């Protein structure tokens, strides 16, 4: 009985999470315009999606901003995490607590504060301000993803590499980087996801020049959401699934090798 209740509970949770997404994707293939009555199977909504210049431009902006901001945030976050790890306990704990603050703060505080900051400096809102904001709020997530790997790292490997004549750069690349690489990849993926997903910060900092997928979808909801948005969500879900499968393949192969 207990196992039945547990399975039923998990089924309800997963149903609550994924049934709306399944419903959304199902009606993206609707040949009609209704979001309730399924008239027939058709790919016309996907064709209309890729012919919509506004959505395609917003998608391009989203991907460019997400790619640049996640790469820069990963590099800066990795450097910061290594520097923080080398500090003494008291300053390290103080800086880590400060690092937690942007993560815990509501996005609206980050968006409004950065908008006011750029306004005081006389910087026009647009592509650059959105990119800087995304880099800024992504860095703490990268630091928090890499820090546990640095604490687990065997420092003696780096010291041994230095004793054997390796330069600091070579020792870092050969001894430290492979040990913290899972944290770097996790931080990069987190930064990429947050950047693509962000709406609030982008909304306050985009000005009138830049539109991302989040802001375009929000603007569309003010009038009438067409089924092309369902198709857009379907494409995004499929892309995420493909990325997850590719990301998990090396882990499965390594596990299989260890078993053999």
How confident is the model over 23-28, as a mean pLDDT? 84
- For the segment 201-226, what is each residue's pLDDT rounded down to a tens digit? 888 888 877 888 888 888 877 766 67
Q: 48-62, 130-144, 182-196, 234-248: which has the minimum mean pLDDT?
A: 234-248
Which residues lie closer than 8 Å to 171 by C-beta, 6 or more apart? 158, 161, 162
Which residues lie closer than 8 Å to 218 by C-beta, 6 or more apart? 199, 203
Q: How much is the pLDDT for 249?
A: 75
Q: How much is the pLDDT for 72?
A: 95
| CA–CA separation, 254 and 162 (whole Å) | 29
Q: In the predicted model, is pLDDT for residue 24 greater than 80?
A: yes
73 within 8 A of 135, measured Cβ to Cβ: yes
CATH architecture of the region 60-244: Orthogonal Bundle (1.10)
The domains of the chain are located at: 60-244
Tokens of 230: 């369902």
The H-assigned helical ranges of 86-126 are: 89-104, 107-121
SS3 38: coil
- For the segment 105-142, what is each residue's pLDDT rounded down to a tens digit? 888 888 889 999 888 888 888 888 999 999 998 999 99
- For the segment 37-78, what is each residue's pLDDT rounded down to a tens digit? 777 888 888 888 888 888 888 888 999 999 999 999 999 999
Burial of 77 (0-12, 13-18, 19+ CB in 10 A): buried
Regarding pTM above 0.85, the answer is: no
Mean of per-residue pLDDT scores for the chain: 84
Give the residue among 100, 139, 113 at the shortest CA–CA distance from 201.
113
């Amino acid at each position: 009985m207990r196992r039945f209740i547990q399975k039923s509970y998990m089924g309800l949770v997963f149903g609550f999470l994924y049934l709306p997404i399944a419903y959304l994707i199902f009606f993206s293939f609707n040949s009609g315009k209704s979001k309730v009555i399924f008239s027939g199977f058709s790919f016309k909504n996907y064709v209309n999606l890729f012919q919509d210049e506004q959505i395609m431009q917003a998608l391009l902006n989203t991907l460019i901003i997400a790619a640049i901001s996640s790469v820069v945030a990963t590099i800066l976050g990795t450097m910061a995490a290594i520097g923080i790890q080398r500090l003494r306990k008291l300053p390290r704990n103080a800086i880590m607590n400060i690092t937690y603050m942007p993560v815990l703060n509501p996005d609206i505080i980050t968006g409004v504060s950065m908008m006011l900051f750029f306004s005081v400096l006389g910087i026009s809102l647009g592509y650059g301000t959105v990119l800087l904001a995304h880099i800024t709020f992504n860095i703490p997530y990268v630091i928090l993803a890499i820090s546990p790997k640095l604490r687990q790292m065997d420092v003696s490997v780096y010291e041994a590499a230095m004793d054997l004549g390796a330069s600091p750069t070579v020792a870092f690349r050969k001894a430290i980087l492979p040990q913290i690489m899972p944290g770097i990849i996790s931080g990069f993926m987190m930064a990429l996801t947050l950047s693509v997903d962000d709406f609030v910060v982008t909304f306050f900092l985009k000005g009138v020049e830049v539109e991302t997928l989040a802001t375009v979808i929000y603007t569309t909801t003010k009038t009438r959401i067409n089924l092309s948005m369902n198709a857009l969500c379907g494409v995004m879900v499929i892309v995420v699934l493909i990325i997850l499968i590719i990301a998990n393949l090396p882990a499965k192969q390594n596990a299989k090798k260890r078993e053999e």
